Structure formats: C-alpha cells, structure tokens
Structure 1
C-alpha cells in the first residue's frame, strides 16, 4: 500500500515536471523565444519611491540599501531599468524641492551606498535613471538663501525677481494648468518690496535660465551624476516650465542645449521629460528630450475601460505616433498606466482585478517604452492626496515584513485590502505572476516590443480593441475585449500561432472567441 502511494506521488511529480516543461517549450516557441533587453527604445522601466520601498536600518524609511537588496525583484519582474523619484536632500517627504544637488538625502543613505547600488544594478543589466529637478530649487537651498539677501547679492539673478509695482496685476491671478492649480506664482520672501517667481509654490522658487551661470551650474550637476556616480540618465521634472509658458520656443531650445551638453559627457545618455500637455504642445520638445511621457496613453486607457470603447486607445496612440514621426523618427514613447501623481491603476479601474490584468496586457502589447509604478504589480491601492498614492510596499504579511516602511500610516494598501508579494508569488493567478507572464511575452517577441502599429480596419463590436504589430519577419494580431460581454470576431487569414491568451480567449475555425475582459495575441 505504501509503495503504491509512493508510486502515485512519484508519477504525479513526473506529470507536473512534464507540464512545466511543456509550458516552457510553448513559451520558447513564441517569437524567437529569447528574453531580450530593448531598453531604452522599447524596454521597461520600474518607478520607485525609495521612501516607501524597503527599509534596512529600521528607521521606518526606505533607503538605497533596501533597493539594492531588492534588485532581484525588479529583475524577476522583467524590468530593464529603474527610475528613482528624487533622492537628493530636501525638506519635504517627496523631495521635489532640492537643497543640495550633489548629495543623497541622509534618510536614504550615502553617496557610497548609491555607488554600490549602481554596481549591483549594472551587474544585473539594470539601468538607473534619477529624477533631476531643475525648474526650481527649495526655498532653503543655499543659492536662494543668498539670493533673497538683496539686489546686489551675486546669487540674486539665479532666480526671477520683480518689484511689486511691476507685477501687481499678476499677484492674485489664478493660473490653472494640467499640472498645477496654483493660485499665485509670485511670492514675497517676507521683507522688502521685491517678489520672486515660483510656478508651483512659494517653497519652490524657479531658477532663472536666462542667466548663463545657472545653466552652467545645471550642466555641472549633470556631469557629477553621469561621470562620478555613473547614472544612465535623467527624468526631467516639469520640463515645460523651465521658462514661463509664454516662452515655449525658449523651452525647446534650452532642452536641445541641455541634451547636447549631456551627450558631451555621456553620448548614450537617456533623457525622459515630463511635459504634461496635448501632443501638439509635447511634440516640439522631442529634439531636446528624445523620450517623453505619454499622458494621453494613461488617460485614454482608463477612458477606454470606462466607455467599453476598444477603438479609443488604439486610434489615439496611432494618431500620436504618426504625429511624432512628423517631428523626428528618433523618439521614445514613454507609455505608462499609472505613476506617483495619478490614483493607483486598480482604483481607476473600479478595483476590478480582470481590468487591471487586462490593462497591463494592453500596455505590454502596445508600442512604446512602458513604465511601471512600484506596487502596481501586486495591485496596490491609492487615491489622492499624493501621500496615499505613495504608500509602503507590502513585501510580506505585516508580522513577517521586516523591511516594510512605517514613515506613514497607509490608508489603502494594507494587508486586509492588498495581498503582499510573498503570498502572491505562490499564487498562480496573482497580479504579480500575471505581470511577470505578460512582460516575458513582450520580452520574447520583438513584434510586441519593436513592431509598428497598424489598425484592424474590419467592423468590430464597440468594446473590441484590435491591432497589428509587425516587425521584420514577425507579424502579430492583438485583440482585447474591454467589456463584461462575450464576442466572436473574424480571424484575419494566416494568424494561427497562439502567442498569448488571457481570460480563456481562443481562436479556431476562422474566428476568435473573446469572453469578457479577455486578450489574445496571434502570430502569422
């Protein structure tokens, strides 16, 4: 009896191993079967807010050594690079108001810690991009402390100053933009009749880029991080606001100059800009900032689910890509499904698990260089205010989670509402394993990473999103059903090889069966 039981157990193991082997072989036969790193043009970047990521010294705040310890998580997920939100000294928790451009915030560690991180990241073929905030400094930066001492101070012209009587008409003018609802931009330092300009808030005075000394300082800061610290590139915050909005040409020309200066230091430097606006405003920045965040992608993706409208996103994306190609063929479309300024993706999708899984399938099967926000891969939750979009990562159940940060009391991403990573790893249907799977599909199929985007011209039910991704000798057909109803659509001739299926979608007899919230990728 015991022998029979052992034999059954042995045969069960053999079956499991054979099944795993079969799946591996099936995956290997998809495309060329080799994992490839397409960064920066089409690779995947993982955004990290260090404050909330992993704490190694038990002070409740995430640190650089914590990121080093968790680099294998980024690698396992399939990302090719990390973008760090600000890491420099600052009086605020978010650190978008810098007081020292050539240092690490002491809560995060030291420059030596960062050098170790760079070494370990590059050892794993992971690139590092840091936030560079040059539109403004902190009002506590030494430059500004000097600047406000008087009109004759050598640092006065590092910032934008004006006498009260010359700007009186603007003092209470309410300016609303896509990235700011600030009531006023001119601020009094507390003494005298002069006011300084700060587009976002008074604690963030704008630098004066008409001053060549300021530009020289900025280029020297870039040199420090590229040469001495070895970073691979910069994410340029508030790139549209280096000069005021009524001087867009000056903005465009500055970024061309900035790119030129950085490429003198590091020819393959990666620059991605935040220009939060419509495509006609964004596109002229491409000669200076070859990668730009595609905010339209984020919002249109969410709208497509809200309206169950499959054509909405694919047509918008095609329109944007064609428009950018009219400016330059050398651009990187930095797509994203969520980031540190928007509500968590799962909240935006009504906390529907199938929608979240399908959203990442759409992101990974569309053209672009996708960005993933930390915690998205475990279904973290969060709504405004911003702190609650940046809550601590859940590595394990709270009792076992020695690295979970405690700098804030989370409201949304708590054990009762979000399953920690350690648990999700053992769940075949978890968000984490779903993310890993679809990222691996993208990284083993050049058509998905590098292919062009062609619309499927046949009449389709409103919720169906369908498009072709073609690259050299690989031709792919991608379909997503963005509704809670099932549909059957005609299958284009010749697309018979299944690359990926989500939600029990299947293709046979010249048609594709698409259950609610399902996706499929087929190869010709």
Structure 2
C-alpha cells in the first residue's frame, strides 16, 4: 500500500540536510533499518514548503516523526494530542494503513492536524477474521481513498478490553457520518438504530460526529447500538489464565535425580509433582503452585543450557522426549501449566547452523552476524562482542560460545518460528524468553531497538496462531519504564518486574516501606492492569535468604508481600525452604534440599554440584513437620491466593497507616477487597490506624477477617467514596515482620453481588491523555453530579452533567489512577480512569 507523508515547514528554517521522516515504516518500505533519521528524505519540488514522501508498506500501524535535517537533533516534538507515548516519554505520530493507500493530511512540523478517534465496544459480537473497520464520508478527506470503503481503516483492540479504536488525522474540522463494520466488507456493516442514526443520503442510517475540536472522540457504544453495553463489568481490564497462576521456576539438573547419576531429570520431576501440586485442591500438604517454568531443557553442551544445539530435542542428561512428554502429561493432569525457556537471541557455537556458517559460501552464513573486519565497539555492559574466527569476526553479545542469530534473515526467522511451534504442538503452555532486549542490533545500538520490538510482534502472531492461549514471559532486565514497551502493542504477555523485586527486598531489609510504595505506584500506573511477573530473585541472582541476611522472618515478610500483590508470581525452586546461594551461577543453582539425609535426598549418587551447607535444617522433610516453618508459610500464602479471586484479579490501591514502618495496600475485585498490612519493622505496632481514600466498593458495613489466621478483625464502614478513614481492627498488635491479610466482605454481600447498576457509565479513551469522554446510559435524572478523586481521596474535578455525555479535561492531572463517581438521582456508579503522559 502507498503511504504518503506530508509536512508543512512554513516558519521553519530548513537546513542543508533537508527534511526527513523516520519511523517503524522504514524497514517494511525497504530501507535498511527503522528509525534512521537520514535515509527517508522528503522533497518539495514546487517550493511551497509542503514536503512529501511516498513509500510502499504492508497494512499495519506505523509510528513516525519528522526531522528538520538528517540527525535526531532536528527531530520534531510531537504533541501528545496527535501522537502516542512510547513508554519512555517520547511521543511519535501514528498512521493506520488498511486495505488501501493513505495520503496523510498535511501537518505542521511539530503541530497537529484535527484528530478524530473512533471507538466501538464489540462485547457480545464474534469479530470476523477481517477485524473491525470504520467507514464514512470523511475517508477521502483523511487520505483514505474513496468514502465508505470497508477495507481502508482497521480498528485495533491493543489492551484486549473488547473496545476497538483508531485515531486518524483530518485537514479541517467538520461534521461527519460513519458506521462500524464487523469484517472488511460492506456486508458486515452495523445497522445503526434510528434513535442515533442520520440518513446518509441513500436511505441508510449512519452515526454522526462533530469534529470541531483539536481532538475529537466518538462515544464508545456497543456495535449496532445507541447505548453503552448493558451492565458495568466488575473490572474494567481483561485477565487471562496466567493471572490465576502461581509459577515455580525449576532448574531440571538440580531438582530431583531419579537414576543416581547426580543429574536431575524429567522422571525425577514427575516423581516430585505431588509435592508441587497433587491435583486435589482439598489437600494442604502440597505447595499448591499451578504453573511451572522449566529453565532450558533443549539439547546443549553446557550445564545451564542457554546455548542450544538443537531446538527440537531434549537435553540427553535430562531424559528422552518421551519422558518429557510423560512429565508434561502428568503436570497437566494435576492442573499445572508448563512453560519452557526459549532462547531466541543466540545459539551454541556448536549448533550445526553456526558450524556451517563458518564457510563464507554457506547458505547459513547470513543466519549469524559476520564482519570481514572487527567493528571495534564493545557491548552494552562493556564486554567484547566481536569474536575472531577463520579470519573474520562474528557477533556474540554474551560470549564467543553464544553467537547471536541474525533476525534480519527471513530463513533463520522461519526456522525459529518453526521451532517455537514444535513445542507448542507438544502441549507446552508458553515460553519464558531469555534476553529479549538484545534480539536485533542496530549498529552499535544493541538493546531495545525498534527492530527488536517488531520481531516480538511477529513472535506474538506466530505463537497465538498455533496456541491462542499460550503465554509469553520476557526477561527484559532493565528499569520499569524500559520494560513497559515489551508488553505493549501485541508483543509479550508479561515481563519480569526487576525493579519491583529490588524494591521489595530493599524495603524489607531497611524496615522502610517508602521505596516499595513508590515502585508499586509506578508499576500500577505504567503496565496494562496485572500484566507483569513478580518474583524475589531468580537463577541469575543471589538467593533471597542471603539477600535478607539469613533472617527467616524477613523472608516470610517478603513472601507475604509479593504473593498478595498484583501481577503473576514466580517462585524460584528451593526459595520456599530457604535455600542459600551466592557467587558463581552454579552456586545459585545447587541441588534441591529434600531431606536431612545423604545428599539432601536429591540423589543416591554424586551430585553434579555440592549441596548447600544448610540443607540439614532447611529442607522439605524437616520443614513439612514444623507448622511455623517457612515452607508451611508459603503453602498457606499460595493456598490463599488460589482460593481468593480478589488476590489474583483485584486492582491495586494504596492505603495509609499511622506507623512509619507499615505498608498497606488494597486489592479490589467486584464487591470484595483484601487489605494487606505489613509491618516491615522489627518491633510490634499496637492498634495501627488505617485509611483507604477511595475505591469502587459500595457503601455499607463490611466484615473483616484475617485470611492467614482465620481470626475476626471486626467490621469497617465503607463510605460513599468506597473508602474508610481512621479504622482500627480488633486484632492484637501487629508484630515485627508480620503481615495481616484482611478480607472485607459486605454484610449485604449476597444482594450486592446480584444487584444490577442503576445506569451504565463509560469512560473513553481509558487510559486517557489530555481528555476523556463520559457517556451515561439509562441515567434516571436529567442532571447528574460528577466527582473525580485521586487515590488519596482528593477531589480533582467536579461538574454537573446534563444529558448523556460530558468531556473531562485531564490535561492538568498528574499521570496515575483516578476514580470518577457519577450520582444520578439516588443511584451512583464509580469507574476507574487511568491518565497517561
């Protein structure tokens, strides 16, 4: 499809470098790489200061910005109203190309044309393979060819909430007609009801929109309806099977040896499945995990397995393919999902692909990255990345035994997609992806390139085509803002939240909740709701017990925190019995400690690595017999999470407490809540006073129970904002490094759960940037009162709403989560609104 960029440089001094455009369209259009500011030049042959460039690209969504010159120093600052934040504070323009070409309206350099956002709720509809489109009499004006063309403008549902959206640019304001189409042919066009329809001149009814402001958004109504979808969902974000899971990370070599050769194996893991989950939810002797992540189990010459020699074979030390399949079937029979490590960045230097690439004439040569000379630059952490071989140099980011794959080679890419589909067809439930930040280099820029993100979008499509429910979990080991793009735009489902893990340990160590409270707020604001992986430490880090100075009470505290937080929790094997391990990676991956007997019950032979010296006290058998042990603490926490939907799916709210060492937060799902109160200090806090400013809980009296002990904690009165102030439980004082997990249940729970909202409230877009539109359906009063609160309960906006719609100006609001409360007559509805910057 042809895509034409046009920019008005009036008022700009165009330098000798000319005008360029850079973005995600460049590689698909045939340029060497995306986001190169010097390769895609625009021209102004008629000297009217309108610079243009036409390229050919496949259908898709492309991000771009204009450059005055040919370097990033001349890049325009795109206003947020006509662009999208990439997660790091940088705003790019976007263009949606469908089944026809797009000639973008002229935009001023650094300025915005009129923006029009379409949104439709497809709840209750089966979306066809053609997707969802919008048609209307604006298409020619917006550069999409003929009006009413059903192929031209696709909508997307990036956050999977059932609401399909697209934003387009218009050269001028106006009133326009439009309809939504389920599919990409006119046969799928909605029938617009007469109550909100206007004759389009042919006798067919269409919707209308007045695009008279800088940014205009249509109401988010149901397909073929004049109203918002009936009923308000219990939560405004999607959840998936992995949000119900607790994962357990296993290093196969160290878990259990079934044959006495000193190596853990598939048969040994199968024999120990009843320890992890016996398949009977009524029992309490098993750990209760519902997911397993296997560290590399494909054929490899090294002990760790991250240098693969055959992507379709099991590691012989661990057993045969048949034994792996038997393990997988046994895990599934117990309700345990299994994901495996997939190393996309590199292979082993002993992989046949690489050994064949040593020959410059081999078709495998370009499957890796070769250079006739040493480019000379170092890696992201100062390491050597160019390695000599046979008179040339190959690129390997981690070491010479792990040559990087060339993801620009379509044959290599096809082979890797084939390998990933192989294991999905075996029945694995998804992948943990190693080192995802480094897949595609752009010269000396080796991490977080746009090309890497594009490869992960392809991976997503390949994965979901074979197994739509498969999960992808990425290791993007960097700061939170750097991780977030990896879980956006249909890339990965989850990434590990390293900054949150560090904040948990630091706050527990320092008896100070501030760092953790701040990090929880950041994570809650930036990620898609609940879609990140929580953990304490993993196979590359010092064990938790060592990080916490051997203090078991602090270890229990850290477990209580991350197993009651939002996100998808991952335990590292042996964490639950306090295994230690620092120094070389092998020492962080020592054999599992099953008993106090010979070799810790791991093997009858000589273990591949000596056991920890603490195995006689810290082992499964000894701790199982002690009701107050760390292991039984983990069992209780995991059982609570498995039994309480609010702990798996509830959204996060900060709460406040009087003592400086206390961290308090709430999880809310539907009309239930859990309040976690953790004393990070070493001394008891008597009668802590707690407050919650706002939530979506209905007003009324709630019974409070400590889920961990089963003790009653009294009652609390929830006010009209869904919060409470200066409440104390009836429990004794909260001891040092102890945690209350308080369940709030309405005394009118049965009637509240079945009650229908008196009217429907929709907020869109959500997340919002500079403004959000509010739509009411079936509101009983002519006027409604609107109040918006931040998470502290501070009122940030009030208004009287006349009719069924209202525009909220959020441009002055800080990024974060807000609650919008609308009262119409005696009925009240509360919805969450996220504001992004």
Instruction: Report the TM-score, using the length of structure 2 for normalisation.
Output: 0.54
The question of whether the paired residues in 2 share the 8 Å contact of 1:505 and 1:514 is answered with no
User: Who is 2:742 aligned against?
Assistant: 522
Deviation at 1:343, TM superposition (A): 0.7
Deviation at 1:232, TM superposition (A): 0.8
Q: 2:514 aligns with which of 284, 289, 311?
A: 311
Distance in 2 of aligned mates of 1:92 and 1:507:
57
For residues 216-235 of structure 1, what are the structure 2 equivalents within 5 Å?
216-227=414-425, 229-235=426-432
Distance in 1 of aligned mates of 2:315 and 2:609:
22
SS in 1 for 2:473: strand
Post-superposition CA distance 1:448-501 (Å, at most 9, x none): 111111011x45332211011111021221100011122232145956422334
Post-superposition CA distance 1:399-424 (Å, at most 9, x none): 385543743343635434x4221121
Q: 2:305 aligns with which of 77, 83, 95?
A: 95
User: Who is 2:524 aligned against?
Assistant: 321
CA 1:69–1:92 in structure 2 vs 1: closer, same or farther (change >3 Å)?
same
User: Who is 1:510 aligned against?
Assistant: 728
User: Who is 2:362 aligned against?
Assistant: 153
The question of whether the paired residues in 1 share the 8 Å contact of 2:453 and 2:491 is answered with yes
Post-superposition CA distance 1:376-411 (Å, at most 9, x none): 111111112111110111111223855437433436
SS in 1 for 2:311: coil
For residues 18-167 of structure 1, what are the structure 2 equivalents within 5 Å?
39-75=241-277, 76-149=286-359, 151-164=360-373, 167=375
Distance in 1 of aligned mates of 2:712 and 2:550:
22
Q: Structure 1 residue 485 and structure 2 residue 683: aligned?
A: yes
Distance in 2 of aligned mates of 1:364 and 1:38:
18
Deviation at 1:44, TM superposition (A): 0.4
SS in 2 for 1:164: coil
Deviation at 1:333, TM superposition (A): 1.2
Deviation at 1:42, TM superposition (A): 3.8
User: Who is 1:415 aligned against?
Assistant: 615
Deviation at 1:218, TM superposition (A): 0.6
Distance in 2 of aligned mates of 1:278 and 1:64:
35
User: Who is 2:460 aligned against?
Assistant: 259
Distance in 2 of aligned mates of 1:101 and 1:72:
29
Q: 1:185 aligns with which of 385, 400, 403?
A: 385
Post-superposition CA distance 1:17-59 (Å, at most 9, x none): xxxxxxxxxxxxxxxxxxxx97412410000001000001110
- Structure number with greater CO (CA < 8 Å, separation at least 6) is 1
Distance in 2 of aligned mates of 1:477 and 1:148:
60
CA 1:133–1:391 in structure 2 vs 1: closer, same or farther (change >3 Å)?
same
Q: Structure 1 residue 281 and structure 2 residue 499: aligned?
A: no
Distance in 2 of aligned mates of 1:289 and 1:386:
27
Deviation at 1:318, TM superposition (A): 2.4
Post-superposition CA distance 1:46-102 (Å, at most 9, x none): 000010000011101000001111111111211111000000111111010001111
Distance in 2 of aligned mates of 1:499 and 1:247:
44
Deviation at 1:321, TM superposition (A): 2.2
The question of whether the paired residues in 2 share the 8 Å contact of 1:278 and 1:296 is answered with yes
For residues 203-214 of structure 1, what are the structure 2 equivalents within 5 Å?
203-214=401-412
Q: Structure 1 residue 388 and structure 2 residue 587: aligned?
A: yes
Distance in 2 of aligned mates of 1:517 and 1:45:
25
Indicate the RMSD between aligned Cα atoms, in angstroms.
Answer: 2.3
More strand by share: 2
Distance in 1 of aligned mates of 2:414 and 2:379:
33
- Larger of the two Rg values belongs to structure: 2
Distance in 1 of aligned mates of 2:268 and 2:370:
42
User: Who is 1:376 aligned against?
Assistant: 575
Post-superposition CA distance 1:347-389 (Å, at most 9, x none): 1111101011111111111111100010011111111211111
The question of whether the paired residues in 2 share the 8 Å contact of 1:396 and 1:423 is answered with yes
Distance in 2 of aligned mates of 1:415 and 1:337:
21
The question of whether the paired residues in 1 share the 8 Å contact of 2:661 and 2:680 is answered with yes
Distance in 2 of aligned mates of 1:408 and 1:114:
21
The question of whether the paired residues in 1 share the 8 Å contact of 2:457 and 2:491 is answered with yes
Q: Structure 1 residue 199 and structure 2 residue 397: aligned?
A: yes
More helix by share: 1
Distance in 2 of aligned mates of 1:247 and 1:40:
26
User: Who is 2:499 aligned against?
Assistant: 296
CA 1:455–1:475 in structure 2 vs 1: closer, same or farther (change >3 Å)?
same
SS in 2 for 1:40: helix
Distance in 2 of aligned mates of 1:251 and 1:479:
41
User: Who is 1:343 aligned against?
Assistant: 542
SS in 2 for 1:465: strand
Q: Structure 1 residue 499 and structure 2 residue 706: aligned?
A: yes
Deviation at 1:426, TM superposition (A): 1.2
Distance in 1 of aligned mates of 2:241 and 2:631:
22
CA 1:473–1:71 in structure 2 vs 1: closer, same or farther (change >3 Å)?
same
> Which deviates further from its counterpart, 40-49 or 206-215?
40-49
The question of whether the paired residues in 1 share the 8 Å contact of 2:657 and 2:691 is answered with no
Deviation at 1:297, TM superposition (A): 1.6
CA 1:410–1:246 in structure 2 vs 1: closer, same or farther (change >3 Å)?
closer
Distance in 2 of aligned mates of 1:500 and 1:262:
39
